[in-house]
Amino acid sequence: MIIVKGLQKIYKQKRNGRLVAEIKAVDGIDFEVARGEFFGLLGPNGAGKTTTIGILTTRVLPTGGIALIDGIDVMRDPVAVKRRIGVVPQANNLDRSLTGRENLLFHAEYFGIDKRTRERRAAELLDLFQLSERADEKVSVYSGGMAQRLKIARALMHDPAILFLDEPTTGLDPQSRHALWQMLFELNARGQTIFLTTHYMEEADRLCQRVAIMDHGKLIALDTPSNLKRSVPGGYLIELRVRAAEELLSSLSTALRKLPNVVDVHSMDGLIRLYANRSEGLLADAVRLANERGVLITDAHVAEPSLETLFLHLTGRSLRE
């Protein structure tokens, strides 16, 4: 369904007509998405996710590489690509002066769908996304969760082969987010191919069959969520926020590496991360070693294997940073 090879997007910054910098928003990435797959692109803000989805949906011209949607080159035939995709952007671009139903019907008419078919399709999607009772109210009175569900329904009106979702749950409360997850899960179970970008690791973990992790324009990992989590060294992460002179922190890091079950230790900017095979008793040992060296621990926690711990291991920073 989607084939991406060597995809690049370079933004050139000019000042007084002179080139002063080149920003590689997308830096030579490769991946494929199969028909019927729920695929996630995970990464922090600024990683290149939105630029990537912009290229795949014909809204951004790539600098280099190839992107095929259902066998069609996004650069050579963008019109044909647009008929095969449904796009849900981050911004709320619904027409607030229209009702929910009217938004759907107007979108379908734009794609040349006949009246009978678009009315039937609108009724089906309003029911699927639990909007039937409010379908004839103006969108201006919809909650954030309702508006987001309507945006997805609208993107599906012309029965696209691939549904693109760019950060679909940003700004939603937890209840609305989980309700939308369930609807997307059911939609994929019906055979809909879905391409999701998100910075919520739990969202990618729960919904996606495969996840690509992106940082600074590059793909740094790609596999199933379970395989990605298993690739974290040792599996467990202990984080210690500490305060002490650099030589004391160096001494503590050396001592921590010698503890049983510790696989690796990273220390940077007052934060020590221990990767370990087991977590039982390890935090107490770490606190003891810190106290012996006069290192003050201001915060500590233990994390089980997750996409967050993998991202920490690969980049040294949090997905939220």
CATH architecture of 2-95+155-229: 3-Layer(aba) Sandwich (3.40)
CA distance linking residue 105 with residue 67, whole number of Å: 30
Task: Provide the residue ranges of all domains of the chain, joining segments of one domain with +.
Answer: 2-95+155-229, 233-304
Residue from 160, 138, 159 nearest 150 by CA:
138
pLDDT at residue 51, rounded to an integer: 95
Closest CA to 53 of 63, 44, 65, 40: 40
Q: What angle do CA 203, 51, 318 make, to 5 degrees?
A: 45
Phi, psi of 76 (to 5 degrees): -80, -35
Q: pLDDT value at position 309?
A: 78
pLDDT at 321: 53
pLDDT of residue 246: 87
pTM over 0.85: no
Q: Which of 156, 213, 158 lies closest to 187 in space, CA to CA?
A: 156
Among candidates 117, 109, 153, 106, which has minimal Cα distance to 134? 153
What's the pLDDT tens digit per position in 223-251? 999 999 888 777 788 889 999 888 899 99
Residue 320: predicted pLDDT: 58
Hey, what are 119's tokens? 């009315």
Indicate the DSSP class of residue 234.
S
Residues 6+ apart with CB under 8 A from 23: 10, 11, 12, 13
Classify residue 178 as left (phi > 0), alpha (psi -120 to 50) or beta. alpha
- pLDDT score of 318: 66
Alpha-carbon distances of 12 from 203, 216, 228, 249, rounded to whole Å: 33, 16, 34, 41
Determine the pLDDT at residue 20: 79
DSSP at 199: S
d(CA 12, CA 300): 42
Using DSSP bridges, classify how beta strands 64-69 and 72-73 pair: parallel, antiparallel or unpaired: antiparallel
Burial class (CB in 10 A: 0-12, 13-18, 19+), 260: exposed
pLDDT in tens, the chain (321 residues): 999 999 999 999 888 878 878 999 999 999 999 999 999 999 888 899 999 999 999 999 999 999 999 999 999 999 999 999 999 998 999 999 999 999 999 999 999 999 999 999 999 999 999 999 999 999 999 999 999 999 999 999 999 999 999 999 988 998 999 999 999 999 999 999 999 999 888 899 999 999 999 999 999 999 999 999 888 777 788 889 999 888 899 999 999 999 998 988 988 888 898 888 887 888 999 999 999 999 999 999 887 778 887 887 787 666 655
Cβ(212)–Cβ(222) below 8 Å:
yes
State the alpha helices, DSSP H only, in 111-173.
Answer: 115-128, 144-155
Burial class (CB in 10 A: 0-12, 13-18, 19+), 26: buried
- Of 90, 231, 7, 58, residue with least CA distance to 160: 58
CATH number of this structure's domain 233-304, picked from the four choices 3.40.718.10, 3.30.70.980, 3.10.350.10, 3.40.50.2300? 3.30.70.980
Q: Which residue type is seen at 159? A: D
